[in-house]
Amino acid sequence: MGIGEDTRSDADLLFAFRNGDAMALNALVGRYQGPLHGYLRAMSGSAADADDLFQETWMRVIRNPGSFRGGAFNAWLWRIARNLLIDRLRRRKPAISLDDMTAEGTAYRELTPGTEPDPGDEVAGAEIGRVIAAAVTRLPPDQRDVFLLRTQAGLTFAEIARLRHVPLNTALGRMHYAVLRLRQELGGMYTILRGR
Amino acid sequence: MKYYGSTDRTMNHDTDPLRELEATSARLTPHVRRGCDSVPSPDVLAAIRTAATRQAGAPRILPFVPWAIAAAATLLVLLSGWTLFRVRQATEVARQATLMDDMLFLCAEASVVPETIAPGAQREERARRLLNLQGLGEAAAPATKVSAESEELPSTDSQSHNTRELQAQRCG
């Protein structure tokens, strides 16, 4: 998707799309495709589900850009995505547990894409990122959601509280526990991160 | 939650927990993004691009147009109704006025009215109209007859006399 270096704000791009500029929407998709798809993938646990949800989210944006009433575009975008995600998770009954074993004797958790470090990855930064990503997938869903909404979507805690319909203190508390848990999971690596 | 409860007496006032949490988030964000960001499949991106192009090229209805059409239609209906009401009202008023005028005229004629008030032909016409309005078909015939005869008579005095007799009967 032609991302380009469009310096217009999100709201300006959406307004331009409403006025018939398809490239403006492409720029928006390019701007958010990584974090949004990553969030959906981490929350749904499936690349295929993430693809479906990602596409449906943008289809909603395309069909009804007028429902954006100002404010933070990313909060609006993640609200759409999150509602679709919740609908999907409600419909999907967990037929198997991630801890169940396949016929080959491998746990389904091991097959979940993006949760383990890539052995061939020699870039230290990417390695740390993958370790964090793996640790994030092991967070309880509520904590994982708040953590990703803050770090990946870039929402403020107030926006997260509004989005999740919880008090601000609850959102802060979940983030706090998520960070504590990550600190335990990452061990010495977390100390390195703090030093950076 | 120990840190964030407003009534929590164990809260450490030396450090701002929210600021600390924000700082931790900021430190972790690039690593999380590097590790968690993922790319959708090319098919998905192509589908989105196609839908965006199609939607952008589709004709758009300006948001105020439906409202303007609805308002114009409502105004048209109201104006039509009001006009119809006014026309019917005016017709009725005119009919009543004519009838009243004729009644007054005839009653005045039955009494003593100077000949100069109205010429003979006009009086005949008004009398005939009144009788027709009242649905007096049988009475209209003599009036017509009188009118027909009056055309042959050189003077309008006898015509006026006949009409006056007839009108006097009707007025009692």
Domain boundaries, chain A: 7-93, 120-196
Query: How many Å apart are CA A91 and CA B43, to the nearest integer?
Result: 24
Asked if A26's CB is within 8 angstroms of B3's CB, the reply is: no
**φ, ψ for residue A101 (rounded to 5)?**
-105, 145
Q: Which residues of A touch B41 (CB under 8 A)?
A: 51
**According to the model, what pLDDT value does residue A120 have?**
45
**According to the model, what pLDDT value does residue B102 have?**
80
Angle between helices A73-91 and A47-63 (to 10 degrees): 130
Q: For residue B10, which amino acid is it?
A: T
For chain A, how many helices (H) and strands (E)? 10, 0
**According to the model, what pLDDT value does residue A50 have?**
92
**According to the model, what pLDDT value does residue B148 have?**
45
Asked if B29's CB is within 8 angstroms of A193's CB, the reply is: no
Q: By CA distance, what is B20's nearest residue in A?
A: A176
Q: Give yes or no for a contact between A75 and A159, defined as CB atoms under 8 angstroms apart.
A: yes
Selecting from B6, B17, B39 the residue whose C-beta is nearest the C-beta of A37 gives: B39
Kindly compute the dihedral angle of the four CA atoms of residues A85, A89, A95, A99, in this order, to the nearest 10 degrees: 70
**According to the model, what pLDDT value does residue A183 have?**
85
CATH number of A7-93: 1.10.1740.10
For B160, the enclosing helix (H) or strand (E) is helix B157-171
Determine which of A58, A80, A118 to mutate to test the interface with B (most B C-beta atoms within 10 Å).
A58
**According to the model, what pLDDT value does residue B75 have?**
95
Asked if A55's CB is within 8 angstroms of B44's CB, the reply is: yes
Tell me whether B3 touches chain A (CB under 8 Å): yes
Query: How many Å apart are CA B80 and CA A179, to the nearest integer?
Result: 71
Asked if B51's CB is within 8 angstroms of A176's CB, the reply is: no
For chain B, list residues with pLDDT below 70.
Answer: 1-15, 59-63, 109-121, 123, 133-172
Q: Which residues of B touch A21 (CB under 8 A)?
A: 56
**According to the model, what pLDDT value does residue A85 have?**
92
- The per-residue pLDDT string of chain A (196 residues; one tens digit each, 9 = 90 and over) reads 444 567 889 999 999 998 888 899 999 999 999 999 999 998 888 889 999 999 999 999 999 888 898 888 999 999 999 999 999 888 876 555 555 555 555 555 554 444 444 444 444 666 777 788 888 888 999 999 999 999 888 898 889 999 889 998 999 999 999 988 988 888 777 766 665 5
**According to the model, what pLDDT value does residue B13 have?**
47
Residue A85 tokens, joined: 């995600």
- Predicted TM-score (pTM) of the model is 0.58
Asked if A151's CB is within 8 angstroms of B25's CB, the reply is: yes
Q: What is the CA radius of gyration of chain B?
A: 47
Asked if A26's CB is within 8 angstroms of B1's CB, the reply is: no
Q: For residue B159, which amino acid is it?
A: Q
**According to the model, what pLDDT value does residue B9 have?**
40
Q: Give yes or no for a contact between A163 and A157, defined as CB atoms under 8 angstroms apart.
A: no
Tell me whether A126 touches chain B (CB under 8 Å): yes
**According to the model, what pLDDT value does residue B1 have?**
43
CB-based contacts of B144: which residues, under 8 Å, 6+ apart? Answer: B128
What beta strand segments (E) does chain B contain?
Answer: none
Query: How many Å apart are CA B37 and CA B44, to the nearest integer?
Result: 16
CATH number of A120-196: 1.10.10.10
